Amino acid sequence: MTAQIQPLFAKRYIIPDMPTADEVLPYLRQIDANLWYSNFGPLVSAFETKFIAQMAKAHPCETPFFAATVTSGYHALSVALRLMGIGSGCKVLIPAVTFPACPLAVQNLGAEAILCDIDPDTWTLTPAIARAAAAQMKLDAIMPVCLYGMAVPSEEWDAFTQETGIPILIDAAAAIETQSYLKHGFVAHSLHATKPFGVGEGGLLVTADEGMISQIRQTTNFGTVNRITQSGGENAKMSEYHAAVALAQLDRWEHVKARRAELVSIYTQELQSAFPLARIHNGLQKSVVCNLMVSVKQGLLPTLLAEIEAQGIATHRTYLPPLTTHPHFSDLCCCDRHGKVIQTPELSDKREHMNACTHLDQTVMGLPFYPQMTNDDATTISRLFCQTLHRMDTST
């Protein structure tokens, strides 16, 4: 049987949820009036201010935070690492399950990315793993990642920096509003079209250090101040056109969150009948969901993926398999959850020692999730998924 989901969207697992041309138009008219197109224009500045005001509503606290726009989530990571002094001879600890942007940003600055196993419950690099790794080797920075948009504990990471002196850069690519900010260190967001807060291409860096904002701007503008090069840098400035889309996206942000929450609750409720064969991670229910990931009983995944696809439903494996299996990263130093460096280059040894990453690879898959699907689509997909699982379970 093939699932009866809207044909336009069949076989897609993610569809960007962007503002319409009409919603962006008033901001484009402002660009026409301002005659300012890039280089820290009025729309970029308005977006940065309004964005932080919106986040302060979600995380009321005494510490004020400041945001600087960049061209992408990758550049948010790259600029922050540069400002943390990361370069040749430095080591940065990164979870092995994440997007390639994380180690690439480190490598492209001439530094070494160390891939570590993740915590089996939270699916990410925790302060405990970082402490264990820091006891084995000198680390110059740690990059915890909000996997699938799930927040990491900023207070615990602040405490880690105070205790060890090692700076933190949280890659909160998709975790906008659910991730709280750091008193010490940076939080990076991606505004890629596929993220819940999509602008097309874009990124943000958030810091409690107001003085850092001018340094971020300098770094995103070829390291220059008044056309004189003061430091290393890149061209990573957000244009006024992207800021126009970002302002329009901010106007509809409450709607974006509400629609995603509605769909997550349908999936969560329907997938209850698949328990204990499958479940949605608790952390996803607290996030503005970007990728709807489901954990399934060990041993079922390859057949399940094939059966679901055969029924006309797209599946995906976002951030999987782990980066340790990607040819470009195969030579990187790896460590287990106890900080122990895995000495052999054999992939089978890495799989065995990085067993939480391996478990995720063997048990986690994604289902279609985009606001344009109807509630009935979400119900149909969930029910087909549950029926398929039960059928497979009884036949094994």
Ligand X SMILES: Cc1ncc(COP(=O)(O)O)c(C=O)c1O
C-beta separation of 290 from 196 below 8 A: yes
Question: What separation, in Å, do the N-terminal and C-terminal C-alpha atoms of the chain show?
Answer: 21
* Nearer Cβ to ligand X (290/386): 290
Instruction: Check binding of 192 to ligand X (CB under 6 A).
Output: yes
357 by DSSP, 3-state: which? helix
Instruction: Check binding of 81 to ligand X (CB under 6 A).
Output: no
- What would the x/- binding string for ligand X be over residues 267 to 306, using CB under 6 A? ----------------------------------------
Task: Kindly determine how many residues on this chain lie close enough to bind ligand X according to the rule CB under 6 A.
Answer: 13
Distance CA 307, CA 378 (A): 18
Instruction: Check binding of 154 to ligand X (CB under 6 A).
Output: no
DSSP E strands, the chain: 66-70, 91-95, 112-116, 141-142, 169-171, 186-190, 203-207, 224-225, 228-229, 278-280, 292-296, 334-335, 364-367
Instruction: Check binding of 187 to ligand X (CB under 6 A).
Output: no
Shortest Cβ 90–ligand X spacing (Å): 19
Residues 6+ apart with CB under 8 A from 279: 271, 294, 295
C-beta separation of 265 from 272 below 8 A: no
217 by DSSP, 3-state: which? helix
Among 145, 176, 293, 308, binds ligand X (CB under 6 A): 145
* Nearer Cβ to ligand X (190/221): 190
Among 83, 94, 101, 381, binds ligand X (CB under 6 A): 101
Instruction: Check binding of 74 to ligand X (CB under 6 A).
Output: yes
Nearest to 9 by CA among 257, 375, 368: 368
- Stretch binding ligand X (CB under 6 A), from 96-104, 223-231, 309-317, 358-366: 96-104
Among 103, 203, 366, 368, binds ligand X (CB under 6 A): 203
Instruction: Check binding of 114 to ligand X (CB under 6 A).
Output: no
Distance CA 107, CA 345 (A): 19
Among 190, 215, 220, 388, binds ligand X (CB under 6 A): 190
Interacting positions 44-73 with ligand X (CB under 6 A): 72-73
Residues that bind ligand X (CB under 6 A): 72-74, 98-99, 101-102, 145, 171, 173, 190, 192, 203
